[in-house]
């Protein structure tokens, strides 16, 4: 059987190659030298998973908060910068979120991006330290909730559960 490599991807978790058999035209995926069948297609969202945006310049706090929110039944999209999130939304690559969690540390916020956020009427939870929260650009806006350090990711997730409750499945 002749196999030709079409695409190679590598991540910290696994190496994957997408291959096609020349004789049958079927695709298969190779994970660490083991040939497996085609992956099952799983829909990203259901109607019971509220969409959230988690914006944080630092990867690990963003990833940990997203993991906590996924465990609680939410569909959080992670972004490094607020402008990235707004760009994805404007291009139709992300649905409008029911809430935004915005970590101020490292953000290059502008009055234009904050005005767009206000116009979209997205519930916003702001996370920051004293210097971040004392910025006049931040103080002159209305936020749904403001967390001042120190706080835990569990406290943020608990608040999101109260702010954006998950609807019970019908049926």
CATH number at residue 86: 3.40.50.2300
Q: What does DSSP assign to residue 167?
A: P
CA distance linking residue 121 with residue 152, whole number of Å: 26
Q: Provide the 10 A C-beta neighbour count for residue 75.
A: 18
Q: Tell me, what's the pLDDT at 161?
A: 97
Placement of tokens 């190659």 in the chain: 17
Residue 90 in this model has a pLDDT that exceeds 70: yes
> Is 29's pLDDT higher than 90?
no
Q: Judge if 66 and 22 occupy the same domain.
A: no
Angle value at C-alpha 144, between 141 and 147, nearest 5 degrees: 90
Same domain, 60 and 87: yes
Residue 82 lies in a domain: yes
pLDDT higher than threshold 50 for residue 9: no
Q: Which residues contact 8 (CB under 8 A, 6 or more apart)?
A: 15, 16, 17, 18
3-state secondary structure of 107: coil
Full-model pTM: 0.72
pLDDT at 35 over 60: no
Averaged over 49-67, what is the pLDDT?
96
If you search the block for the tokens 């196999």, which residue do you land on?
3
Q: What range defines the domain where residue 27 resides?
A: 3-36
- The better pLDDT of the pair 156, 167 is held by 156
Average pLDDT (81-99) is 95
- In the three-class reduction of DSSP (H, G, I as helix; E, B as strand; rest coil), residue 161 is classed as helix
> Angle of helix 59-71 relative to helix 153-163, nearest 10 degrees?
50
Q: What average pLDDT score do residues 15-39 get?
A: 43
**What per-residue confidence (pLDDT) applies to 167?**
80
**Average pLDDT for the chain:** 80
- Where residue 97 falls (left for φ over 0; alpha for ψ -120 to 50; beta otherwise) is beta
* Residues 150 and 75 placed together within one structural domain of the fold: yes
Burial of 90 (0-12, 13-18, 19+ CB in 10 A): exposed
Instruction: Extract the runs of DSSP E, i.e. beta strands, from 42-122.
Output: 51-55, 75-79, 99-103
Is the model's pLDDT at 2 over the cut of 50?
no
Does residue 94 share a domain with residue 137? yes
- Say which residues have a Cβ less than 8 Å from residue 45's Cβ, sequence separation at least 6: 51, 75, 95
The number of folded domains in the chain is 2
> Are 16 and 83 members of one domain?
no
- The pLDDT, as a whole number, for residue 46 is 52
């Amino acid at each position: 059987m002749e196999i030709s490599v079409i695409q190679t991807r590598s991540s910290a978790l696994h190496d994957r190659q997408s291959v096609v058999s020349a004789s049958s035209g079927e695709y298969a995926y190779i994970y660490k030298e083991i040939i497996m069948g085609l992956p099952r297609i799983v829909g990203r969202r259901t109607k019971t998973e509220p969409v959230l945006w988690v914006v944080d310049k630092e990867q690990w706090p963003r990833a940990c908060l997203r993991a906590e929110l996924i465990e609680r039944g939410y569909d959080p999209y992670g972004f490094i910068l607020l402008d990235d999130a707004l760009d994805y939304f404007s291009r139709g690559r992300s649905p409008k979120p029911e809430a935004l969690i915005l970590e101020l540390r490292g953000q290059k916020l502008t009055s234009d991006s904050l005005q767009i956020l206000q116009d979209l009427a997205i519930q916003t939870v702001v996370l920051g330290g004293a210097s971040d929260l004392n910025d006049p650009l931040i103080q002159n806006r209305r936020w749904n909730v403001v967390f001042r350090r120190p706080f835990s990711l569990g406290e943020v997730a608990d608040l999101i559960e109260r702010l954006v409750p998950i609807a019970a499945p019908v049926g």
